[in-house]
Structure 1
């Protein structure tokens, strides 16, 4: 049983790496088998098709990203604390899976309907309406300035996600190694939070 679990985990880890690097269309089962250190026949024994393996890997990555965000949006913490917590979570999650944004963008270009369907119907899809209503309530109280809740969400996502998409450029232009880049992303949590909250000042 231990061997089975270990082999399955090797396959899952390998599939994550290959799919993140090459996307669904570019990945081959042989690539995944080679990365996992097993033969292709054994890979097919566990997962008969590339599509099924992709669904499992993508669903797991999506749920990990969305679950905490949903908990933040539906929690009882003050609105501004939710903004800070969301920024922290996005950057922490993407630091752990830095290829995820490019992977999602590539898949959106290849098969937008499939990816959108996965997002919208994900079990942990965030309660965006609740978050937006809280923002409108804060505006009515005069606690934050009036602006489109959708603009706030797009601004927050863009500020968190872009550095991971642009990592090769940032690292090379500024001569950063991986450790320096990680430190930059840790610093960015505070920087983005302060930037967003400043934009909300009445």
Structure 2
């Protein structure tokens, strides 16, 4: 029984790794279940035994990525650390998640447009994300004269949009600048520092 369970887990992980690679290469829309089965080295019937549809498979990969990302960000926002360190940590974590799962942004946009309430519930399970702690810290820093006045929501939007846009516009960016996947990923690695510095310098006195 234990051996059978381990085999099931091994096959499932092999499928998830294959699916992630196919989604990364072809996107959600372009990926086919047959491509995933071929990459995993199994037949399509076995793939459907573990995952009934491409959507179910993609959702599991999405949940896995979110469950790695959210606890880290939640702890960061709640931690007693300087604001600039939080900005650097958030940008690093966000871009790292996108680099590991560059197909996620478009999926997220589609899900949000379909039903914002359901999507928020799916991610946070009814719990309010600790964004208000971050907002309160921004307001305190402004009050103390440590940073330029800015609405916390605008600061957050600056951080998120600068992290996510290159991944949403990835095909266009790669096409215009004639760069391959590895070159794109190197640019994103550089953005971890570049974006954080840009945001911090925009509010630094």
| Deviation at residue 136 of structure 1 after TM alignment | 0.9
Instruction: Tell which deviates more after alignment, 142-151 or 182-191.
Output: 182-191
C-alpha change, 1:149 and 1:60, in structure 2 (3 Å) is same
Q: Which of 115, 120, 124 is the aligned partner of 2:124?
A: 120
Contact 2:37/2:44 (8 A) holds in 1:
yes
Aligned to 1:67: 71
Contact 1:171/1:181 (8 A) holds in 2:
yes
| Deviation at residue 30 of structure 1 after TM alignment | 5.4
Aligned to 1:170: 173
In the alignment, the residues of structure 2 paired with residue 111 and residue 34 of structure 1 have an alpha-carbon distance, to the nearest angstrom, of 33
Q: Which of 56, 61, 84 is the aligned partner of 2:88?
A: 84
TM-score, normalised to structure 2's length? 0.81
Instruction: Tell which deviates more after alignment, 10-19 or 184-193.
Output: 10-19
| Deviation at residue 56 of structure 1 after TM alignment | 2.9
Two-structure CA RMSD over aligned residues (Å):
2.7
Q: Which 5+ residue runs of structure 1 have no aligned equivalent?
A: none
| Deviation at residue 194 of structure 1 after TM alignment | 1.6
In the alignment, the residues of structure 1 paired with residue 116 and residue 32 of structure 2 have an alpha-carbon distance, to the nearest angstrom, of 21
Is residue 178 of structure 2 the alignment partner of residue 180 of structure 1?
no
Is residue 132 of structure 2 the alignment partner of residue 129 of structure 1?
yes
C-alpha change, 1:114 and 1:18, in structure 2 (3 Å) is farther
TM-score, normalised to structure 1's length? 0.82
Aligned to 1:43: 47
Contact 1:63/1:122 (8 A) holds in 2:
no
